[in-house]
Chain A
Amino acid sequence: MEKGGEAGGGRPEYSIIVPTYNERLNVALIVYLIFKHLPDAKFEIIIVDDGSPDGTQDIVKQLQQVYGEDRVLLRARPRKLGLGTAYMHGLKHASGEFVVIMDADLSHHPKYLPSFIRKQKETGADIVTGTRYVSNGGVHGWNLMRKLTSRGANVLAQTLLRPGASDLTGSFRLYKRSVLEDVISSCVSKGYVFQMEMIVRATRKGYHIEEVPITFVDRVFGISKLGGSEIVGYLKGLVYLLLTT
């Protein structure tokens, strides 16, 4: 388990794309946790760093010394260019048959990776998406207002869109590589709506989607990610998806 290089001989089966911006501590923690929880899988971690000024890339280079440059890949971009294009950038450099997308801030815990992989193997699904809104899943660190907006947004989207997944705005997902390439090329939204657009378009295209429970620990207390402008943006996204999917 401690020696990262052993299980990864040959072509990786899974490419784990982690977009980062100013995550020098978290990127180290998440890489350690991925290697800890996937001792037997053939995988590579692709860090897409958007020119973080805090030295995230230096840490990634140190991690490459520990785990090997073929297991931890640094594919940096010069500046902050957005999440959707970060996935596309990582995808260009991915060599696995499956691609996992997760956040670097540890709200997505790598201990769930084995259940994503198991679910995919059992069902042959095109997409396995993590859901917080079922038993065994859950959220920590949200106040009542945050929960209320989340539930309201979810009920609205479920009723109007019939999206085919219970957690639309989460972004902890495993894709077949070809499916991700197909879906991502037709998505134009940003932020929360981007995650929702990905899953709705995948449903409409008839891809097989499965869900696994995940927990979500929000450690960025005090910073409200859901202000009025986000809610307006979300509603616009909902209308956009109603009209185009």
Chain B
Amino acid sequence: MKHIFKIIAVLAAISAVWVALLETSTVPRSYTWLLPIYLVVALGCYGLFMVGYGLMFFPTCPQEAVLLQQDIVEAKEFLSKRGVDVSSD
């Protein structure tokens, strides 16, 4: 099944629950009308939280840049001895 249909199915299920709540009036209607807005706000909060959390704990590796420089020096030394042109371009 195409993924878009899964998303549409989830949205349809949520809409069905919402319509049922509106029809049966188990909760006051004025509350029920606001539920879709709460849902959108909740989704936005989730997105912002995930991005913010990801940014705060973004894995970085400054030591790898140093190690790479050492590897480059080592490789250049080995290769130039064997006749490979490693002069910087």
Contacts and interface: CB of A to CB of B under 8 A. Distances in A.
A204 B6 CA distance: 13
Interface string A124-152: 00000000111111111100100110011
B4 A138 contact: no
A223 B89 CA distance: 18
B56 to A, nearest CB: 10
A29 B72 contact: yes
B78 interface: yes
A156 B65 CA distance: 29
- Identify whether the interface residues of A are mostly helix, strand, loop, or mixed: helix
Q: For chain B, give the interface size range.
A: 20 to 34
A149 to B, nearest CB: 10
A144 B86 CA distance: 34
Contacts of A241: 3
A63 interface: yes
A148 B51 contact: yes
Contact of A151 (B7, B55, B65): B55
17 contacts: A22-B89, A25-B89, A32-B78, A62-B84, A134-B59, A135-B59, A138-B60, A140-B61, A140-B62, A155-B50, A156-B47, A161-B3, A162-B3, A215-B64, A217-B65, A242-B4, A243-B2
